[in-house]
Amino acid sequence: MDCATQPRGSFPGGIARPGTSLFLARIGAVLLGFGAPAVSLLVLAGAAIEIRAIDMHAVLAMVPRTPLFWLVFLLAYATPILADWLLYRRIWRLPLTGLAPLTRKLVGNELVLSYAGDAYLYAWARRRGVAEAAAFRAVSDVAILSAVASNATTLIVAAIAMPFFGMIGLDFPPWAVAGLVVAMLAVPMAALMLRDRLFLLPRRDLALTLAVQVGRATLTMVLIALLWHLALPDVAPVWWLIFAALKLLVSRLAFISNRDLVLAGLSVLLLGPHAELAVLMTMIAALTICTHILAGTALLVKDMVAGTIHRVQPGGIDAAGVAPA
């Protein structure tokens, strides 16, 4: 039977790997035990801690007032969320209301811990009645192919930018370059060699997922570079190539939250605290953190209002004392 004709949350053949699935299930159980509002509060706490390190007065003058800048910023922020929605629309027939948990997934991954948002999405899907194997296979396959696409994009952009790294005082020895190439190729090569054992979704869904993830990585980086150009139009494009490579390299650091702030700190370290490019990276990091805070607050308020409505309506609380989602 074709995947498109399957009932929501069901898939032809295959089961989740017991060990990994159990690990995700335990994380999901913890997340579900505290509920979505607790996840939002955790995100807000992480954002509050991060934003304390940013001098907002130093970057306010750098913030452009042109509507085009803000449009590009919102598009860059929304691109990963919309890419995820396209994929889960195909896999789970996710409605537009699914943009809320996908936004929480993004914010959780960015501010709390890498893959914390993926664990939340797995728990969210299980709560909505998606079978354990179906939820696990979708979240894990999408995450793996996202890493494949990001690593490939990073390797290509870094290779192009490598001759210009001397402009910021970076001179990588050959062994470091070789190590970087091996590290970047490890995930794609492992995925290629173990594809029959590693992936659980149908081939057609895997092909679509990889195509969307490559498009997501490419479009996001193009929009970010355009954002930098709109803020500092007089800077030579080669600098955007260098910082695009740095941003992608930083994004591949595992279990590091708020990578935009890491990039800002790296730019200050390389260029000095008063360099325009360092101020720009700090400004973008500040705007991104503020956007995460706004998104987390909106989701928290939404959950609180929905919970209140369910509690005051007849039948709003089930036998276990849990308000229906």
Q: List the one residue out of 73, 70, 79, 72 whose CA is nearest residue 218.
A: 79
Give the lowest-confidence range in 165-169, 179-183, 190-194, 200-204.
190-194
3-state secondary structure 118-149: HHHHHHHHHHCCCCHHHHHHHHHHHHHHHHHH
Which pLDDT score, from 0 to 100, does residue 220 have? 95
Residue 1 confidence (pLDDT) above 60: no
Rounded CA-CA distance 62/58 in Å is 8
pLDDT tens-digit series, residues 139-165? 888 988 998 899 889 989 998 998 898
Rounded CA-CA distance 189/195 in Å is 10
Rounded CA-CA distance 156/140 in Å is 25
- Three-state DSSP class for 303? helix
Kind and range of the H or E run holding 246: helix 237-251
Which pLDDT score, from 0 to 100, does residue 147 have? 87
Q: List the one residue out of 103, 87, 93, 227 whose CA is nearest residue 144.
A: 87
DSSP 11: -
Q: Mean pLDDT, to the nearest integer, of 282-305?
A: 88
Query: Beta-carbon neighbour count of residue 33 at 10 Å?
Result: 9
More confident call, 137 vs 228: 228
Q: Taking the alpha carbons of 71, 72, 78, 83 in that order, is the dihedral positive or negative?
A: positive
Quick one: tokens of 87? 């994929």
Q: Taking the alpha carbons of 101, 105, 108, 111 in that order, is the dihedral positive or negative?
A: negative
More confident call, 176 vs 222: 222
Residue 22 confidence (pLDDT) above 90: no
**Taking the CA of residue 170 as centre, how many other CA atoms within 13 Å lie in the half-sphere pointing to its CB?**
19
Residue 13 confidence (pLDDT) above 50: no
More confident call, 246 vs 193: 246
Angle between helices 237-251 and 276-312 (to 10 degrees): 50
Q: Give the domain ranges of the chain.
A: 17-312
More confident call, 175 vs 70: 70
pLDDT tens-digit series, residues 253-271? 766 677 888 888 888 778 8
